[in-house]
Amino acid sequence: MDTLEKGKIQTFTFTKRNINDAPNKYYYDMLLKYFLPVEKIPPRDEGFAITREFYQLDDEQNTQPVYEAKQGDVLRGHLTITVPEERNLMSVEDFIPAGMELVNLKLATEDASLQKPEFDNGYQQYPRGSIEGGSETPQSKLSQFFSKLGFFPSSASILPFIGMKELGDEYYGKRFKPTLVLQPDAEELRDDRLFLFIERAPPGVYHYDYVVRALVPGTFHHLPAITNEMYFPENFGRTRGELFEITQ
């Protein structure tokens, strides 16, 4: 294995020797893996697009992502997930640096004011899809009409994208602001990751916020966040890998 060279096409030669007159067949399996430094892992879009950043709590517009924090700082993690067409049984795993912990705002011992004010228990009451600098779409007017009636759609509200089978080109790029709040059917805050499960995700651009606390000083690997269809894992997306520093 130490003769394998990176970036070159390799040739493997297998020799078979018959030891009797029976029809001998030769079978083999090869399982090869490669590992990259975490900061060199690029993002991938194979049916999903996902980005992840950390922000200071007072950066309500998410303008300045941070890659270091002081011990004891509380940060907001922000996921943006683009679902180009309807997906089923979708999972999201967002790994946190080893020197951090996820903050469970549902516990009475945590400060509930850390949640962004425009959310109720972490979820927007209803979404509005719009293009920055543009006029309201018929779908957004429809969502406002239903909201006045007191109707708020459940499970990944889809009013801004009603009738769409897949996203149009105008929903990609910096001009579009994601306005659908991802509402998972199951949520787990584990020691090393945030896990979300969504039974059905219509086309849309979703965002999800959570809170982390920096605990241990050091420089830590920040593994990519991954989303996929659990029973069709070839449909997946991941963020880039990076390093995160916690100072005293």
CA–CA separation, 193 and 52 (whole Å): 13
pLDDT at 178: 52
> What are the residue boundaries of the structural domains of the chain, listed by start?
40-247
Question: What token pair was written down for 173?
Answer: 């790029």
Q: Is the pTM of this model over 0.75?
A: no
Number of H helices, E strands in the chain: 1, 14
pLDDT at 131: 33
Residue with tokens 């509930």: 112
Nearest to 124 by CA among 179, 176, 177, 79: 179
* φ/ψ of residue 126, rounded to 5: -155, 150
Class of domain 40-247: mainly beta
Per-residue pLDDT tens listing for the chain (248 residues)? 778 787 888 888 888 888 888 887 888 888 878 788 999 999 999 999 999 999 999 998 899 999 999 999 999 999 999 998 889 999 999 999 999 999 998 888 888 777 765 444 333 433 333 333 334 444 444 444 444 444 344 333 444 455 566 666 666 665 555 568 888 999 999 999 999 999 998 888 899 999 999 999 999 999 999 999 999 999 999 999 999 999 99
Nearest to 82 by CA among 92, 74, 73: 92
Note whether 74 and 66 are within 8 A (CB).
no
